[in-house]
Amino acid sequence: MSSEGFLKEVQAIGEKFLLKLQKLPKAEPVEIVSFSVVLLFIVTVLVLMIIACSCCCYSCCGCDGHPDPSHRKSQVRPAAR
């Protein structure tokens, strides 16, 4: 998919979302609850992704952006018999 097609798709989704928000005050309670649940799910996924990415970046690079040698993976060797 080209970047232009992707941008058009994102714009179409955004327009549908805004249309749904405009109709929300006149909607039935079931529609309002279902829309809220979907919106809460999307926000939760985004927040968890941000937390996961920030924790991964912090453990790999530290705060200054340079790799921390103390967090290097150690190799496991078989025990001598």
- Residues 6 or more apart in contact with residue 27 via CB below 8 angstroms: 35
Structural domain contains residue 33: yes
Domain count, the chain: 1
Structural domain contains residue 27: yes
Q: How far is C-alpha 6 from the chain's CA centre? A: 18
Structural domain contains residue 46: yes
pLDDT tens, the chain, 81 aa long? 678 889 999 999 989 988 988 888 888 999 889 989 998 999 999 999 998 888 777 666 655 555 555 555 667 777 776
Structural domain contains residue 36: yes
pTM, two decimal places: 0.54
